[in-house]
Amino acid sequence: MTVQSVRGFHDILGKEAKKFRKVSNTARRILKLYNFEEIILPVVEYAELFQRSVGETTDIVQKEMFVFEDRKGRKLALRPEGTAGTVRAFIQHKLYALRPYVKLFYEGPMFRYERPQAGRYRQFHQIGAEVFGVAEPHADAEIIKITYDILNALDIKDVVIEINSLGCKKDREAYREALLNYLRGVREELCSDCINRMERNPLRVLDCKVETCREAVKESPKMIDFLCDECRKHYESLKEYLKALNIPFRENYNLVRGLDYYTRTVFEAVSDSLGLTLIAGGRYDYLVEELGGPPTPALGFALGVERLMLLLPDEKEEEEIYFVIPFGNVHAYALKVADRLRSKGKVVELSYRKGGLKKQLEFANKLGVKYAVIVGEDEASKGEVTIKDMETGEQKSVKFEEL
Ligand code: HAM
């Protein structure tokens, strides 16, 4: 039996690889416009990092992490997301001592043991950005604007940006009590997971995807009604800035996100047609301190590359390819012709295919090349080539030096 790829771990090839690079290049170009600096993070971290940041009671930590022991029995994990590692690095390298605030972005594979389906994999790719050291809501507005710019640059429509505020620690405590009281009343309607985690982390119930749980929380108390004056002002300012930037958004008071570190602003860019979240993020003002750093407000977002790819059209080949076809014993000359064209910045493929002109031109069409560059013994002896425009069929001789 031949060996297959692991379930949920996929190859990305051909047109899909082009879409992957398009998402990546576009996001990187836009992050550069906002002057973010890249951080290249390791794929493996101590499992404890995610337990303490993403949260013990989250699906990600409870069910979805790839955890294993190294030879010394230390518990390691394949990273399920990029925020925790970025915060770890921010603290470890004392980046807070460097500048009043720090803006970082990262790109790479993440790993979650989820049930694979369209747009959901066990190895997927994120591009994310994090801002450390800014509490004011104009930073929140800019983070949301970046996601909006990326969607626009990729010409992805039919996406709604949903926002909510989860308040500060104090607000959350009051809300937690109210929500817990409510949940105890509808306990019978909840799934077993929610019953298990509700006492420890009632907010998780709001994020449950099980239909009966969704129904049961429809009438639950809303976080937004528990915001203190400062958190409310923060949220109102954010909305004002989003309006000033002409970013359409929808308030979703049940949006709590599947990770525990969030405070105040949370947001998601949701595709209604796919029924998937494409980009998500928010504030996590306590996380740096909780992981051992100085108190540092922070926020960020991450996009799912594969999810954005689902909404991109197939692209036509844009590159003008020159296809050099040697006939006879002219390989040295053909190599030089290809080299000369590349030195002029042209994309050149030297044909490795064997066979006569008809077969070669058929193959050239298959590759979608613009010009066939025919190099026969006659051309080689005269120091020329014959260039054929594959679209118009026009053909002419050109001297090597004039290529
Ligand atoms: P997240 O919502 O867990 O947030 O993931 C962000 C994005 O990653 C999702 O919106 C989705 O596009 C993509 N994604 C997640 N799981 C999968 C999967 N199994 N297959 C394909 N794509 C997936 C975070 O990870 C936070 N770290 C975002 C953040 C950054 N918050 C603040 N800073």
Which atom of ligand 1 lies closest to the CA of 269?
10
Checking if the pLDDT of 182 tops 90, the result is yes
Q: Which of 116, 124, 80, 108 is nearest to 7 (CA)?
A: 116
- For the segment 333-364, what is each residue's pLDDT rounded down to a tens digit? 999 999 999 999 999 999 999 989 999 999 99
Q: Determine the residue type at 200.
A: R
Task: Report residue 296's pLDDT band, with 50, 70 and 90 as the boundaries.
Answer: very high
Mean pLDDT score, 159-176: 95
Instruction: Tell me the best of 53, 65, 81, 162 to mutate to test the pocket of ligand 1, counting ligand atoms within 8 Å of each CB and taking the most.
Output: 81
116 CA: nearest ligand 1 atom: 19
pLDDT recorded at residue 402: 92
Q: How high is the pLDDT of residue 138?
A: 98
Per-residue pLDDT of 382-397, as tens digits, reads 999 999 999 999 999 9
Query: Contact at 8 Å (CB) between 324 and 341?
Result: yes
Binding pocket residue ranges, ligand 1, CB within 6 Å: 81-83, 112, 114, 119-121, 124, 126, 128, 130, 258-259, 277-282, 300-304, 306-307
* Separation of alpha carbons 365 and 351, rounded Å: 12
Residues, the chain, total?
403
pLDDT of residue 87: 98
Residue 103 phi, psi dihedral angles, 5° rounding: -125, 120
Pairing of strands 395-399, 263-271: unpaired
Residue type, position 166, single letter: L
Most distant CA atoms of the chain, gap in Å: 92
Across the range 8-13, mean pLDDT stands at 97
209 pLDDT higher than 90: no
Average pLDDT over residues 246-267: 94
What separation in Å is there between the alpha carbon of 190 and the centre of ligand 1? 25
d(CA 325, CA 385): 10
Region 167-174: what's the mean pLDDT?
94
Strands 371-375 and 347-350, sheet pairing: unpaired
pLDDT at 336: 97
Looking from the CA of residue 112, the nearest atom of ligand 1 is: 19
Using H for helix, E for strand and C for coil, what is the string for 345-360? CCEEEECCCCCCHHHH
- Please check the confidence at residue 318 and state whether its pLDDT lies above 90: no
Ligand 1 pocket mutation, candidates 105, 126, 262, criterion most atoms within 8 A of CB: 126
The amino acid sitting at 110 is M
The residue ranges of every structural domain in the chain are: 15-168+228-309, 321-402
CA-nearest residue, atom 23 of ligand 1: 304
97: CA distance to ligand 1 center in Å? 29
Protein residue closest via CA to atom 2 of ligand 1: 280
CA-304 nearest atom, ligand 1:
12
Which residue from 41, 53, 54, 110 has its CB within 8 A of the most atoms of ligand 1, so it is best to mutate? 110
In this model, does residue 171 exceed pLDDT 80?
yes
CA of 311 to the centre of ligand 1 (A): 17
The pTM of this model reads 0.93
Ligand 1 closest atom vs CA 308: 12
Determine the distance separating the centroid of ligand 1 and the alpha carbon of 81, expressed in angstroms: 7
**Among the listed residues 136, 67, 143, the one whose alpha carbon sits nearest the alpha carbon of residue 105:** 143
Q: List Cα–Cα distances, 327 to 40, 317, 372, 374, 391, in angstroms.
A: 48, 27, 13, 8, 22
Closest to 208 in 3D by CA, of 257, 167, 253: 257
Q: Could you give the C-alpha distances from 153 to 26, 107, 147, 149, in angstroms and in order?
A: 7, 18, 10, 6
How many whole angstroms from 305 Cα to the centroid of ligand 1?
Answer: 10
Task: For residue 7, give the amino acid letter.
Answer: R
Q: pLDDT tens digits, residue range 12-65?
A: 999 999 999 999 999 999 999 999 999 999 999 999 999 999 999 888 999 999
Instruction: Tell the CATH topology of 15-168+228-309.
Output: BirA Bifunctional Protein; domain 2 (3.30.930)
Cα–ligand 1 centroid distance for 318 (angstroms): 31
| Predicted local confidence at residue 234, as pLDDT | 98
CATH superfamily of this structure's domain 321-402 = Anticodon-binding domain (3.40.50.800)
Residue 258: pLDDT band with limits 50, 70, 90: confident
Nearest residue by C-alpha to atom 15 in ligand 1: 304
